[in-house]
Structure 1
């Protein structure tokens, strides 16, 4: 693959510098504010404005803090400017998120000072608060003048720039839920909403009606007609119109979207909703998550997932402290290099047939394995939502979808359109589909990338909207898996930080407790209740939530057996 990762970052940086240097950015007529209701009388955020006699560098730093407050059409930020500039400044053209802001004086004149503003762009906020990860440099020039004895900004680029800490302090991530293309499962669409606005539920429902963010949209299926409108909340009832053409089934599925979005945002547990004057769901005046449990987008931490391990080339089942080979041929072959298991008991495995040949095999855990294809290298398989199709990578480049007929057991394969990945430097060593199959995470050349999966009318699958996340891993990534909340668990070769967590939208990454892990971490897996890793010595586990310990324990029944974890999804 061509060298693309670093060149893209440099190109973005140069393009951005060229824009900000001339104090303009490409105009976007779409609304770019974080939310649709930022100017509420209920906004209790204190007004942040310039202080009397404030030095110019301190005033400029306070301006960037105020830029994170969108209330009143960015009233706080505008108060730091000369009135003429304040009227023409458009912060909605772009909202860039930088790690931090560095100021350097470049020119001083009588009553005037010019600063160079630098930082590293880590992402941007798009329409509706959707976060898009980026990795580029930022540099702009800003001029301040003394007006009536006080410093004020008189020249600055369009668009808003906020620091990462202000994003975390002033905004909160919330999830909207939309259906993947088969409409069998809900997928999370993470948004950053300004904390000072009230009411938050109104904003969430408005965004739900507007639909998924641009990146996620190709992987979703819409239920709502164009006429669908949110009328607001009255007496605790969410009111909609323009839904008369919808079937009752689609209204029920939309109700699941609504209830899970509001419930998981902490907006309550019971909800009332009407469409065109009638209950949204016939016979259901009050709705809760109990009525839509089958669409739960997050498994409970108390739910039990089937754990398998790959040990000495065979597949073993782990139940409590009992560990034994599966009853099918996968439990005895002894040449399996990697595998995945579906919730329905289908295993997809990569078998080593010779030093230069690997074979892809599929079958039931209780039966025989059928062969699909062979190559010099094959990546660990990963299953789609229905468990009848799994993906792998041939020779580090060609992503292949393998389908097993549930009726006949016949296995076929077809290439996935991964043209958007082709320009990225390095081999694709790991791919993992999310539980819904709508998202994909990849390790390419040691770096982590995410994208979404779309399916055309002809059935062909394609990977689109690919972004690099967590560039701070510096090419050390070796293994990854999706967690039930949509984040990623990543194992690396780094001795100091062998395990990482990356947020679903790439907005943050953090090191995990690693008191007794010995890098490299060659395998990871996550169930709703437990995290698993395989380091240089053993397979270890830690509770997914509620643990204050920095130490991982060997898995009961597997002490002394170095194995790789597999969670059946």
Structure 2
């Protein structure tokens, strides 16, 4: 395809793409080249105004700090030349929930000091990686008169911005990598500056740079170290991606790389068709004229497993819950007291925790009409969680031991292994217990509730393909120890139920960057179980099984599931 090369060329490293570079570094090797987008607009970026009061100028500095182009040139306009020369804006980016400003000490006609307070809710790291945090922030900013105008003369070596300004200037984009089995795509959530010259070049640069460190041992890296990519718009309206340094890739791996590239671009709203070349030749020999989204549709990371809603109530699993007349599931499931259950995403295989009162708990696995297997026993077992392929499931025994059960697809037999939880030692010592353990729909992460706090950890593959949990990341720290239940939504975010009356349910981004309280109308804490489809959330509150539709803007109150009225039934969907 012929390419339009009349536009300005931009080349940036993965870090610079987040920082917003607009010039080609003198001795750097470009990782991504854009040759089709206009220069980014800076029309509404704050600038110092004539006769601007000192406190308003300081607030505009924070707003301008959300725009990183040219080493935060927009923010530097608010500084004296001396302060600009000293200020290191490349290492630390702090995001605050709010910015409170008050004068500190005695002010003069040409000098004033402000104390700035807030709470750090996150840091933006290399490659647009968001790192959640919740700590107090307090520091001082010194302003002086420069000529007739106020300018900041002393400030910390950090970029500080308000969360609202951050979300206006940056947007999250998934960069996709394959799971270790190369069967499903795993999202690596990054934050990219919205005014890049080329959204396509931004995300492809991050893709070629590899997964963020926390995810690296939980995914399979297909592109070799040192691989580079050039991105350009074609005359036909599609996109061209030219890879270099990938000549040794097999045909099977090339198909997977194409899926990575296409789904990463599509999720960044960059439309095809996509012409992908590898060292000058088509990446896919059977697609010399371009690859379409449908060519890699089998790897769609947004596909939702559709299973009918079931529920557990008083030891019984009910089916046809959405039909208005629920009835009990038969077979062996009717002969035991079911405490909790999970249904495999591929096929109706039930994994159930059986037992009540002081009884020892048993994990029993099988289809409704077959003889079940007893997989493991313990004093307590968390609700089971299936891997996305349905060939493995997880549970936590006695609040400490994470068990993985691999299922032989031919015989149905289960083999047990223990997941290495060394990364949780500090959380599980003494009386620390895991009360919830749910594996993500991609199979790469797990959400846990430990002593009422929410953590996300990567399921890493260690030596001899042993599984271990990566370093846990606490999300939604502001919830404290009030979390009771959690599960994954189709889009990769978390639904969390709490014991707080006026804030019983939250939706939390997988990286902890966004914490949204959902409607509390007609919902009574504690919320002890949650589940969700693409458009509906189910929650078991203090009274009954309730539901809330995402797509119903007018009705924001929770409604009871009619087929199980007055029952504190637990919703049961896939996984």
Contact 1:299–1:528 (8 Å) recurs in 2: no
1:310 to 312, 315, 320: 312
- Alignment match, 2:146: 147
1:45 to 39, 42, 45: 42
SS in 2 for 1:143: strand
Q: Deviations over 1:209-260 (max 9, x none)?
A: 1112222222110111224210221524222222211112111111111111
CA distance in 1, matches of 2:248, 2:562: 55
**CA drift at 1:163:** 0.8
2:60 is the alignment partner of 1:57: no
Mapping 1:429-448, distance limit 5 Å: 429-448=435-454
- Alignment match, 1:335: 337
CA distance in 2, matches of 1:561, 1:138: 46
- Alignment match, 1:410: 413
**CA drift at 1:507:** 0.7
Structure 1 residues without counterparts, runs of 5 or longer: 1-28
- Alignment match, 2:32: none
**CA drift at 1:315:** 2.5
2:403 is the alignment partner of 1:400: yes
Q: 1:202 to 1:58 in 2, by over 3 A?
A: same
- Alignment match, 1:34: 18
CA distance in 2, matches of 1:32, 1:97: 19
2:302 is the alignment partner of 1:298: yes
CA distance in 2, matches of 1:65, 1:359: 56
2:73 is the alignment partner of 1:89: no
Higher alpha-carbon deviation: 444-453 or 272-281: 272-281
Contact 1:350–1:360 (8 Å) recurs in 2: yes
CA distance in 2, matches of 1:58, 1:510: 29
Runs of 4+ aligned structure 1 residues displaced above 6 Å come to none
Contact 1:31–1:92 (8 Å) recurs in 2: no
Contact 1:33–1:127 (8 Å) recurs in 2: no
Q: Deviations over 1:19-71 (max 9, x none)?
A: xxxxxxxxxx9947625545696111225322222222222111111111112
CA RMSD of aligned residues (A): 2.3
Q: 1:65 to 1:232 in 2, by over 3 A?
A: same
SS in 2 for 1:378: coil
- Alignment match, 2:213: 214
CA distance in 1, matches of 2:16, 2:274: 30
CA distance in 1, matches of 2:14, 2:185: 26
- Alignment match, 2:549: 543
- Alignment match, 1:368: 371
- Alignment match, 2:224: 225
2:71 to 70, 73, 78: 73
Contact 2:134–2:478 (8 Å) recurs in 1: no
SS in 1 for 2:90: helix
- Alignment match, 2:9: none
**CA drift at 1:451:** 1.3
**CA drift at 1:141:** 2.6
**CA drift at 1:166:** 0.6
SS in 2 for 1:162: strand
Mapping 1:153-552, distance limit 5 Å: 153-235=152-234, 236-284=239-287, 285-299=289-303, 304-318=306-320, 321=323, 323-330=326-333, 332-343=334-345, 344-352=347-355, 354-355=357-358, 357-424=360-427, 426-552=432-558
- Alignment match, 1:9: none
CA distance in 1, matches of 2:564, 2:338: 18
Contact 1:304–1:529 (8 Å) recurs in 2: no
